[in-house]
Amino acid sequence: MSYSTEQESFWAGNFGNDYIDRNKGKNLLASNLNFFSMALKQANKLKSCIEFGANIGMNLKALKLLYPEIMQKGIEINFKASENLSKLIGKENTFNKSIFDFNIQETFNLVLAKGVLIHINPEKLEIVYKKLYEMSNRYILIAEYYNPTPIAIKYRGHKDRLFKRDFAGDIMDIYPDISLLDYGFSYHRDKSFPQDDINWFLLKKDNS
């Protein structure tokens, strides 16, 4: 399959396959449970969510434990990861394609991007922002590496594969009806529930 950016091909291929083995297990699930308990404490009960870049579903698995009745869908570019994801949330709820190629009329209480926007080609970020915005009918949760100004850094020895910036600020600047509900930081040296040094921002549509 051909893609419009190098970053998409990177994650659809062998690097994306290898990522699966580095990001799973009971300890990660425990950390994710703690993370979402904090990040969503200001949110009302959630009945539906969609995750951009869901991988094998470790985030969705944690959310399902917190909200047992939640309806879940996930977008994942890597075929191997999407096969694992479909076993968790069902094939009908799993979309093995690029975020750029994904379109759906449905909206969700929560739209989630956790460790995904940092790997999107900066020239195409506004396309993804638009999809995050349009698919949300209440909340958007952004959990990414933060930097006040855009910067590119090497990712596991690869150039132009990781980009840091103020993603949440971008979205609020573009969409005036989006406001900041809560925010925080998760540290990799947390002795009980480490995450990957991510800043998280819970955004809300003001008319929801």
Question: Confidence class of residue 208 from pLDDT cuts 50, 70 and 90?
Answer: low
Question: Confidence class of residue 6 from pLDDT cuts 50, 70 and 90?
Answer: confident
- What is the per-residue pLDDT across 100-141, written as a single tens digit (0 to 9) for each? 999 999 999 999 999 999 999 999 999 999 999 999 999 999
For the chain, the domain total comes to 1
Quick check: is 102 in a domain?
yes
Quick check: is 80 in a domain?
yes
Indicate the pTM of the whole model.
0.95
Quick check: is 29 in a domain?
yes
Domain that holds residue 95: 6-205
The CATH number of residue 134's host domain is: 3.40.50.150
Quick check: is 172 in a domain?
yes
What's the CA gap between 141 and 139, in Å, rounded?
7
What's the CA gap between 104 and 120, in Å, rounded?
20
Q: With a cut of 80, say whether residue 157 has pLDDT above it.
A: no
Quick check: is 100 in a domain?
yes
Q: With a cut of 90, say whether residue 32 has pLDDT above it.
A: yes
User: DSSP assignment of 109-130, as one string?
Assistant: EEEEEES-GGGS-GGGHHHHHH
- What is the per-residue pLDDT across 173-189, written as a single tens digit (0 to 9) for each? 999 999 999 999 999 99
Quick check: is 1 in a domain?
no
Share of the chain above pLDDT 90, in %: 83
